[in-house]
């Protein structure tokens, strides 16, 4: 591996113009394809294999043209000063508002609350549902503007008017603020790390090129493959983070080789052969973790994982080819100012420092490995404890800021009609084989209506053929309450008795039931996903490090960090401790996809740091150093790079914490805390402590396994050679130019 990548780096340096032009052509080609591709149609959220999805699919089949996926806006009217919405003036204002809402060009229907009984018992609150002909993504700006103006006109009458529903969601897409913050902080970190504008700018430039290629490619494929917007968002986030990190690692190794007196071309080749090998295997672990999301069986997660994995592959290829080519254009500009001055004066290059912050920290840990290990494990364990209280769900309007109309509409409905009104269940009765479909639907409705925890059941509505009925069930508790989940399980648990009495089958769906089913599916898929991903990664690291204990230690450390980060998410977003500091106004269940999403992304990034750090230790050990010396050497060369890479990741993810959406806050906080804990506690404390305690045993491998495993030479043993003399005159002239 090292010898092959050595040749790749050397060729890219010598043919730098060809390499640069090829990547420019790739960027132009995918850019043109992305800009000319037809706009992708937003695919409805789908979750195969769960009851609520099957019920929804049955509704789509039996109620054709009913626009089951059409956007809706639930508009709530609250009378002022103890008045009633049934009072003459208030009623006129409500009816006028409903008439104006119904005038929208994309509106399919509106409902009169006075005719449908959508008025609270105390007469203070009424609501109407505006249904659109298209889904939320298909709403035009004119329709959204018409909805907002209608709400404002209704408020002018003195009524309190709020609205919720997916028609109120902002479909403008990500603003790019988080990415801009991440790039800005990354630039500062790189400048401090390298002390050179060119060295700081090169990783940013190559990462942005990689992100551009990935983004345009996903845009071009979005239509044919039906990719969601989240696919490109995650790809950009991870592509930017790993693209900077991989280039950073190769540039850092290049500067190290130049400081030893090697010529620019040889330094590039060696950097690509050694650091590039670590980049390849680090990238493979990230790709495994992301592609492994397809194991879960959730189409959206599969798309996100494969899209992000593609962005990582592009980042690896650019790091191995374009970075060496750019180093060929500016071989000396990447160096520190002191080195450049020394070279212009004909002096000897500055040797790599033998003692730095990394070696001092490694020495500290090596002197007290057991206390450091115990303290780190105890700290992560304490953070992970709240995980035992983890409750999964899909926070809705109740998790939004009180400054939003959706949150105020949610609270008005809960106050006027009860907390369960915000999350009604939908029951679909398949009476196709029943002798009397209407009697069958009535029996199902009566039996479910008599279940403890049900407030009311709406009249059943039949399709045109009269063989399928749909009715709503309002629980006594809020959509995210445990009691509501128990109610859904109770109704389904009584299925056999109800169906036997009715002579028809039924299924429970609706947003609340869908969220419950998704949570249960994710929980059941988490362990198989972990087994597949961690198992494949351990095998990969076994090949890289030729050790049994090092990969097992890496996997155990990752599990500690991800459990601790999930515990931190529970503490803030579910239990509410410190929530005010992050602007979280309402606590509740953790987003269903959060654990598996966090595991997938953080596992790949954690293995990045493991490969970057331990590969240098392995390299030093293979080249003759004792185990303790190898740990110190690894920290001397890699600690600064790993710290810089982690800070860049944390900056990118932390940018999302400032988002107004609670779910985006949660994702940003979870990813940032996971990287923080993994990089600075697991990799910087637990890894050296464990290696110090294991000594020679850390690198033990049975002879029979040693013969079976392929030799990839990540440590670059085949490339060991004495330092070459100063750069040739032609290189000096190129650098001065």
Which CB contacts under 8 angstroms, 24+ apart, belong to 616-625? 617/691, 618/544, 618/545, 618/546, 618/699, 618/714, 618/715, 619/274, 619/714, 619/715, 619/716, 619/717, 621/699, 622/715, 622/717, 623/715, 623/717, 623/720
Residue 734's pLDDT is 42
Mean pLDDT of 138-159: 88
pLDDT at 354: 61
Q: Which of 34-48, 474-488, 582-596 has the highest mean pLDDT?
A: 474-488
Q: How confident is the model at residue 74 (pLDDT cuts 50, 70, 90)?
A: confident
**pLDDT the model gives residue 289:** 82
pLDDT at 284: 86
Lowest mean pLDDT among 363-372, 550-559, 640-649: 640-649
How far is residue 637's CA from residue 649's CA, in Å, rounded to a whole number? 20
Q: Does pLDDT of 727 surpass 60?
A: no
Query: How many CB atoms are closer than 10 A to CB 728?
Result: 13
Highest mean pLDDT among 125-129, 285-289, 331-335, 618-622: 125-129
Q: What percent of the chain has pLDDT over 70?
A: 88
pTM here is 0.78
The pLDDT, as a whole number, for residue 343 is: 64
- Which of the two residues, 736 and 696, has the higher pLDDT score? 696
Looking at residue 731, what is its pLDDT? 43
Q: Which of 463-477, 572-586, 625-639, 706-720 has the lowest mean pLDDT?
A: 706-720
Question: Mean per-residue pLDDT for 10-14?
Answer: 93
Pairing between β-strand 454-457 and β-strand 160-164 as defined by DSSP bridges = unpaired
Q: pLDDT band for position 24 (50/70/90)? A: very high
Distance CA 393, CA 693 (A): 42
Position 348 pLDDT exceeds 70 = no
Q: Which two tokens stand for residue 726?
A: 């100063």
Alpha helices in 655-696 (DSSP H): 662-677, 687-694
Give pLDDT, residue 32.
92
Give per-residue pLDDT as tens, 606-622: 777 888 888 888 888 88
Q: What is the mean pLDDT of residues 331-342?
A: 73
pLDDT value of residue 305: 85
Mean pLDDT calculated for residue range 376-380: 94
What is the three-class DSSP state of 483? helix
Q: What is the mean pLDDT of residues 109-124?
A: 85
Q: What residues have CB less than 8 Å from 414, skipping those under 6 apart?
A: 421, 422, 478
Residue 448, SS3 per DSSP: helix
The more confident residue out of 176 and 732 is 176
In this predicted structure, the answer to whether residue 686 has a pLDDT above a threshold of 90 is yes
CB 313 within 8 A of CB 291: no
Average pLDDT, the chain: 83
pLDDT for 722 beyond 60: no
Tell me the average pLDDT across 285-300.
Answer: 81
Least confident of 184-188, 270-274, 422-426: 184-188
pLDDT of residue 680: 92
């Amino acid at each position: 591996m090292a010898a092959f990548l050595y040749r790749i780096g050397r060729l890219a340096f010598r043919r730098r113009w060809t390499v640069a032009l090829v990547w420019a052509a790739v960027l132009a080609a995918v850019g043109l394809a992305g800009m000319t591709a037809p706009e992708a149609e937003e695919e409805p959220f789908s979750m195969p294999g769960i009851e609520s999805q099957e019920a929804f699919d049955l509704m789509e089949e039996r109620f054709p043209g009913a626009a089951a996926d059409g956007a809706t806006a639930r508009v709530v009217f609250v009378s002022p000063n103890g008045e009633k919405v049934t009072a003459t003036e208030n009623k006129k204002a409500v009816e006028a508002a409903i008439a104006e809402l119904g005038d929208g060009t994309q509106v399919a229907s509106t409902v009169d609350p006075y005719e449908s009984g959508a008025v609270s018992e105390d007469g203070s609150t009424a609501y109407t549902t505006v249904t659109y002909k298209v889904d939320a993504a298909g709403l035009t700006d004119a329709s959204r503007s018409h909805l907002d103006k209608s709400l404002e006109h209704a408020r002018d009458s003195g009524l309190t008017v709020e609205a919720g529903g997916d028609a109120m969601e902002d479909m403008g897409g990500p603003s790019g603020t988080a990415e801009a913050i991440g790039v800005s902080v990354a630039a500062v970190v790189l400048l401090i790390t390298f002390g050179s504008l060119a060295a700081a700018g090169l990783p940013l430039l190559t990462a942005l090129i990689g992100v551009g290629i990935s983004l345009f490619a996903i845009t071009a494929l979005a239509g044919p493959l039906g990719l969601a917007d989240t696919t490109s968002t995650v790809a950009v986030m991870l592509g930017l983070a790993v693209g900077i990190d991989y280039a950073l690692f190769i540039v850092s190794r290049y500067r190290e080789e130049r400081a030893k007196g090697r010529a620019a071309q040889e330094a590039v080749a060696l950097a690509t052969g050694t650091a590039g090998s670590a980049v390849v295997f680090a990238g493979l672990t990230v790709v495994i973790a992301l592609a492994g999301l397809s194991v879960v069986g959730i189409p959206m997660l599969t798309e996100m994982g494969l899209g992000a994995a593609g962005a990582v592959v592009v980042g690896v290829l650019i790091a191995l080819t374009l970075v060496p080519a750019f180093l060929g254009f500016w071989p000396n500009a990447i160096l520190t100012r002191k080195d450049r001055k020394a070279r212009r004066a004909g002096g000897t290059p500055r040797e790599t420092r033998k003692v730095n912050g990394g070696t001092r920290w490694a020495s500290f840990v090596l002197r007290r490995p057991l206390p450091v290990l115990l303290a780190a494990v105890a700290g992560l364990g304490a953070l992970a404890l709240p995980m035992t209280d983890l409750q999964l769900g899909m926070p809705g309007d109740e998790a939004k800021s009180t400054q939003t109309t959706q949150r105020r509409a949610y609270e008005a409905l809960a106050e006027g009609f009860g907390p369960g009104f915000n999350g009604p269940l939908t029951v679909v009765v398949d009476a196709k084989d029943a002798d009397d479909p209407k009697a069958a639907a009535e029996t199902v409705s009566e039996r479910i209506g008599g279940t403890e925890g049900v407030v009311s059941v709406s009249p059943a509505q039949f399709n045109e053929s009269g063989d399928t009925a749909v009715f709503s069930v309002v629980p006594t508790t809020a959509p995210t309450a445990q009691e509501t989940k128990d109610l859904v399980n109770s109704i389904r648990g009584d299925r056999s008795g109800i169906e036997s009495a009715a002579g028809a089958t039924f299924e429970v769906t609706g947003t609340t039931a869908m969220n419950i089913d998704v949570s249960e599916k994710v929980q059941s898929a988490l362990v198989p996903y972990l087994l597949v991903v961690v198992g494949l990664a351990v095998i990969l690291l076994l090949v890289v490090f030729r050790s049994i204990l090092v990969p097992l230690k890496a996997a155990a450390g990752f599990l500690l960090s991800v459990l601790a980060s999930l515990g931190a998410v529970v503490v803030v977003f579910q239990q509410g401790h410190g929530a005010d500091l992050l602007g979280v106004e309402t606590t509740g269940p953790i987003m269903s996809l959060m654990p598996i999403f966090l595991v997938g992304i953080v596992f790949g990034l954690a293995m990045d740091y493991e490969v970057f750090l331990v590969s240098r230790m392995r390299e030093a050990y293979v080249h003759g150093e004792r185990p303790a010396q190898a740990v110190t050497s690894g920290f001397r060369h890699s600690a600064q790079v790993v710290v810089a890479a982690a800070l860049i990741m944390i900056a990118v993810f932390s940018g999302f914490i400032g988002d107004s959406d609670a779910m985006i806050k949660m994702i940003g906080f979870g990813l940032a805390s996971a990287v923080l804990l993994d990089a600075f506690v697991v990799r910087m404390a637990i890894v050296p402590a464990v290696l110090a305690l294991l000594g020679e045993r850390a690198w033990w491998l049975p002879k029979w396994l040693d013969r079976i495993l392929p030799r990839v030479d990540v440590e670059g043993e085949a490339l060991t050679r004495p330092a070459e003399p100063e750069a040739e005159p032609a290189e000096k002239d190129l650098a001065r130019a």
